[in-house]
Structure 1
Amino acid sequence: MSIVSEHEQPSLLKRKKYMELQVEIVSRETIRPETPTLPEFKHYKLSLLDQLSPLVYGIEFTCYAPPNNKLDDEHCSIAHLKKSLSKALSRFYPLAGRLTADESTIDCNDEGTPFVEDRCKCPLSLFLHAPYRVDMANQFLPSIIPAHGHRTSRSLAPTEMVPFAVQVSIFDCGGVIIGTKGLHKILDAASCGIFLKMWSDLAKGLQVESAIDITTAISLFPPCSWAAVSPPREPIPLCALEGNKVDGTCVVKVFEFNPDSVATLQAKARSDLVPKTTRIEAVSGFIWKHVMAAAATASGNPCAFGPSVVTHAVNIRSRTSPKLSPTTFGNLVVHGIADYKGQNGMVPKLSDLVTEIWRALADVKDADFLTTLQGKDGGQAIRRYKQNLAVLKDQPNISIYRFTSWSKLGMNPDFGFGMPLWSGHTGGRMSSSFKNLILLILNPGHQIEASLILDEKEMYILQSDPHFLQFASLIGRPHSHTTTI
């Protein structure tokens, strides 16, 4: 294992406070692959779907209860996470590389992954019980500023953007939070889930196959010149990469839908065309209806529902013919597009909105449709598809809501700590470029948590809507399963 250390002396520990929490950064290190990447694998070309993916970071953190027998030396556990991460990077070698200036290739140069370790001078339950814990989440997410750079600028060039970063927070009680950031340009949520599972299996000492498919994406979706970045971009502000911004115009709130609420929404969403809706379709339609209502109220015309568009991300690995391996690496996502025209004074039915979402998802899940997007000719089909979406976006006074679901992507890794108590996304204020992004997470216990990024005024209206709160509970109240942590 190769580790480049930049430990800080205890007297120089950087302290961050937010409400009752105090987080002390103990070390910042760079974890490199256990074995060097072979010369023939030094250049990883991005596929067309990678080219079209945004240059932003996907973010996740997972909270783990303290072990039954607390380790005397917690550094042994941290050292084990680092060693297993180094092994995982040998298999997922693009994550230890860096983008080229034209964003067409990953230079698999083994520069490594930032790894931040910190200590929290409180029990994990203090965070999990905090009324505003969603707003505290950013303390447990790693910085993507290069550790060796000591940059004063708050912008990064593409060549400086690390593909993956990790922060491990240890609480006084022995509880752990593992926060990660993955560059969306390189990997989608499913790829991130594949990597996290491999890393966690290695951490548990399990035998792990090296069957990561790192070539299929570019063979099915070869890059196109029309999607290339030319000339290279100027350095990008961090708020545009991560979304977090002190003076951002949008806010993040997380709402929980318990299994009974979801079942009721599924029953309400049924129609002759869609007699059986999925949990994700029902919750998505319900959220769409109420965020449209909030936007209409904020505009001063509560009856002005629509026009509105929903895009819903679909993992196509199991949808193509033949099916792709679930371990296929890269961005393998296509977006279903549901278009609601809106009628002034008419409140849309939940069943109608869910039907529109169902149609949109059915279209992009169709194996024949996905075949038309593949190969040399597929590039033009994808271009037309993107142009159609751009036409919708250019319509006056239209709202675009971007949904994505992590319900079946393995985003709850174990690492030997047991299954997570809670998995989250991000919190606080966000840049307006992230407006109307909605992430759905299926947590242990089968609750669906919806992380919504909305305009602040619209969010206030939504979280005050009694019809919305009849099924959705604002995250922040204590959970019974965390009381003894």
Structure 2
Amino acid sequence: MEIITNTSKLVKPATPTPSNLRNYNVSFFDEQMPNMNVPLILYYSTSESDVHVNIFNHLETSLAKTLTDFYPLAGRYMRDGSFIDCSDQGALYVQATANFQLSEFLGLAWELKFSMLRDLLPCEIAEAGEVDDPMLNIKVTTFECGGFAIGMCSSHKISDMSTTCTFINNWATRSQASSNNALELENYYPIFTVPRDFPKRELNDLTPRLPRISIVTNTPARIFLFKGNAISKLREKVIFKDNKGHRPSKVQLVLALLWKTFVGIDKANNNGQSKASFVSQGVNLRNKAVPKLPDNLCGNFVGVAVAQTDTCEGDNIDLQGFYMILHDSLKKYDSNYAKALTSGEYDVLMKSFLEYSQNIMNSDVNFYGVTSWCKFSFNKADFGWGKPVWKSTGQFAAQNFVVMMDDQEGDGIEAWVHFDEKRMGQFEQDLDIKAYAIYTPSQ
């Protein structure tokens, strides 16, 4: 099974970017983000005989039109000045072909399939932040059956997942054959006002540079699938009521179970002693502001909510307890941030980022990073050949890191867990994980 790259080119905006938009200053939130690419791959199944003839040019043409709206994604990041030079240098566009069918790939054992994900991406995840690096990289791979995959890496310096979804929806809408989509396209027109409302701090970019080499990591990643019925069983174990009638979300339920398992594993590997344990959760701030901000507000507009247990505290906490700690930390975060976003209190806005950076490097605590991509609209992106039959990310060079995505049915969760080899083995054998998650190891 082989994927062959045929051509690579830079696609420029269909309409040149006006000179008054040449320099795009990053925002306060952009400054907090690392110089890395965020990988996402969408898989499409089609049996149309002419799809391979048309798809590369079709997607390239609609991409150029989309870049006219998303002009910063066609620019280059100037690290020294913390701005994007929007001179229409272009987004990388790679065309590739696979000598096998999409169904063969999807049917592979997980570890075999996972080893091929990098070949479906246009560049290395850490290849970002230098003046020659595109802010957006796309790779379209066609399969023998007529299916195709769109792999993309967008720079975290300018894009969070909400921005990526707005871009994808704009591109997909322009790619559809219907000419009556002008009204729909308005929903996906980007709003670039975050740098104006939350300007950068005028400090040098202090975010770390990641190695510009092929990522070879000893940190395995596995998918653990929590189906809708398993989440319903978890929900039965958590007693939670508030005055608004909310019930526990699937993300918080699964995260509570994962955190409980992480604490137990860390205790077993630390001579039966529990360290303080921290979980950071990425938070989309668009629906935290008052009034709520639109989904097509583009750029980074995310925060970090941190939940914690003290030393030995985790020994006596059950699933209900871990859930309540997570819930209370988000509730407190929402309250504090809603006020800070309205008043522009930078000390409050900075606090969670500082807490994150301090604890991630602290060897005296166990720290876990979690990001949820559930309910984001890339699950429904239709470029003219229907919705994706699967979606995936790539392997991050990180330990103690989890990416959550909706399963194909929409009511479950795929948890992409990054752990070292020893603890991954312990995680797979944990009784709670075996009771609620589906995991099929390589054969």
- TM-score by length of structure 2 reads 0.90
Against the structure 1 CA distance between its residues 336 and 113, is the aligned structure 2 distance closer, same or farther, given a 3 Å change threshold? same
Select 1:201's aligned residue among 173, 185, 188: 173
Counterpart residue number, 1:151? none
Counterpart residue number, 1:169? 141
Asked if structure 1 preserves the Cα contact closer than 8 Å seen for 2:285 and 2:301, the reply is yes
| More off after superposition, 469-478 vs 277-286 | 469-478
List 4+ stretches of structure 1 deviating above 6 A.
272-275
Amino acid at match of 1:410: S
The Cα offsets for residues 405-425 of structure 1, whole Å up to 9 and x where unpaired, read as: 111221221111211111111
Q: Distance in 2 between matches of 1:372 and 1:388?
A: 17
State the secondary structure of the residue aligned to 2:6: strand
Q: Distance in 1 between matches of 2:65 and 2:375?
A: 25
Asked if structure 1 preserves the Cα contact closer than 8 Å seen for 2:13 and 2:71, the reply is yes
State the secondary structure of the residue aligned to 1:218: helix
Against the structure 1 CA distance between its residues 22 and 393, is the aligned structure 2 distance closer, same or farther, given a 3 Å change threshold? closer
Structure 1 gap segments, 5+ residues each: 1-20, 146-153, 479-485
Counterpart residue number, 2:385? 417
Counterpart residue number, 1:261? 230
Asked if structure 1 preserves the Cα contact closer than 8 Å seen for 2:127 and 2:133, the reply is no
Please report how far the alpha carbon of residue 173 of structure 1 lies from its aligned counterpart in structure 2 after TM superposition.
Answer: 0.4
Asked if structure 2 preserves the Cα contact closer than 8 Å seen for 1:253 and 1:475, the reply is no
Against the structure 1 CA distance between its residues 163 and 395, is the aligned structure 2 distance closer, same or farther, given a 3 Å change threshold? closer
Q: Distance in 1 between matches of 2:429 and 2:188?
A: 49
Determine whether 1:225 maps to 2:202. Answer: yes
Against the structure 1 CA distance between its residues 452 and 124, is the aligned structure 2 distance closer, same or farther, given a 3 Å change threshold? same
Please report how far the alpha carbon of residue 157 of structure 1 lies from its aligned counterpart in structure 2 after TM superposition.
Answer: 5.6
Determine whether 1:188 maps to 2:160. Answer: yes
The Cα offsets for residues 369-418 of structure 1, whole Å up to 9 and x where unpaired, read as: 3332456x522222344334455456552111111111122122111121
The Cα offsets for residues 92-121 of structure 1, whole Å up to 9 and x where unpaired, read as: 000000001325111101011111111111
The Cα offsets for residues 251-279 of structure 1, whole Å up to 9 and x where unpaired, read as: 11111110001111122132467983111
Q: Distance in 1 between matches of 2:305 and 2:153?
A: 25
Determine whether 1:381 maps to 2:348. Answer: yes
Asked if structure 2 preserves the Cα contact closer than 8 Å seen for 1:96 and 1:110, the reply is yes
Determine whether 1:89 maps to 2:87. Answer: no
Please report how far the alpha carbon of residue 456 of structure 1 lies from its aligned counterpart in structure 2 after TM superposition.
Answer: 1.8
Q: Distance in 2 between matches of 1:40 and 1:398?
A: 48
Counterpart residue number, 2:300? 331
Q: Distance in 2 between matches of 1:24 and 1:215?
A: 37
Please report how far the alpha carbon of residue 452 of structure 1 lies from its aligned counterpart in structure 2 after TM superposition.
Answer: 1.1
Counterpart residue number, 1:43? 23
Cα RMSD (Å) of the superposition?
Answer: 2.6
After TM superposition, list the pairs within 5 Å mapping 1:254-403 onto structure 2: 254-271=223-240, 276-297=247-268, 299-301=269-271, 303-343=272-312, 346-366=315-335, 369-373=337-341, 378-390=345-357, 392-393=359-360, 396-403=363-370
Against the structure 1 CA distance between its residues 349 and 157, is the aligned structure 2 distance closer, same or farther, given a 3 Å change threshold? closer
Q: Distance in 2 between matches of 1:38 and 1:144?
A: 31
Counterpart residue number, 1:472? 437
Please report how far the alpha carbon of residue 161 of structure 1 lies from its aligned counterpart in structure 2 after TM superposition.
Answer: 2.1
State the secondary structure of the residue aligned to 1:411: helix
Q: Distance in 2 between matches of 1:36 and 1:464?
A: 56
State the secondary structure of the residue aligned to 1:321: coil
Asked if structure 2 preserves the Cα contact closer than 8 Å seen for 1:196 and 1:411, the reply is yes
Asked if structure 2 preserves the Cα contact closer than 8 Å seen for 1:336 and 1:360, the reply is yes
Asked if structure 2 preserves the Cα contact closer than 8 Å seen for 1:144 and 1:162, the reply is no
Asked if structure 2 preserves the Cα contact closer than 8 Å seen for 1:407 and 1:440, the reply is yes
| More off after superposition, 455-464 vs 84-93 | 455-464
State the secondary structure of the residue aligned to 1:158: coil
Please report how far the alpha carbon of residue 184 of structure 1 lies from its aligned counterpart in structure 2 after TM superposition.
Answer: 0.5
Q: Distance in 2 between matches of 1:403 and 1:160?
A: 30
Please report how far the alpha carbon of residue 322 of structure 1 lies from its aligned counterpart in structure 2 after TM superposition.
Answer: 1.6
The Cα offsets for residues 337-362 of structure 1, whole Å up to 9 and x where unpaired, read as: 10111427825211111111111211
Amino acid at match of 2:409: G
Percent identical pairs in the alignment equals 24
Q: Distance in 1 between matches of 2:356 and 2:145?
A: 50
State the secondary structure of the residue aligned to 1:414: coil
The Cα offsets for residues 209-240 of structure 1, whole Å up to 9 and x where unpaired, read as: 286353421233221135x326x98x75225x
Q: Distance in 1 between matches of 2:286 and 2:127?
A: 34
Q: Distance in 1 between matches of 2:256 and 2:436?
A: 13
Asked if structure 2 preserves the Cα contact closer than 8 Å seen for 1:142 and 1:166, the reply is yes
State the secondary structure of the residue aligned to 1:322: coil
Amino acid at match of 1:128: L
Select 1:461's aligned residue among 426, 438, 442: 426
Select 1:137's aligned residue among 93, 117, 136: 117
| More off after superposition, 73-82 vs 175-184 | 73-82
Amino acid at match of 1:355: M
Q: Distance in 2 between matches of 1:267 and 1:306?
A: 29
- TM-score by length of structure 1 reads 0.83
Q: Distance in 2 between matches of 1:182 and 1:155?
A: 10
Please report how far the alpha carbon of residue 364 of structure 1 lies from its aligned counterpart in structure 2 after TM superposition.
Answer: 2.5
Aligned residue pair count:
432
Please report how far the alpha carbon of residue 55 of structure 1 lies from its aligned counterpart in structure 2 after TM superposition.
Answer: 1.2
Determine whether 1:407 maps to 2:349. Answer: no
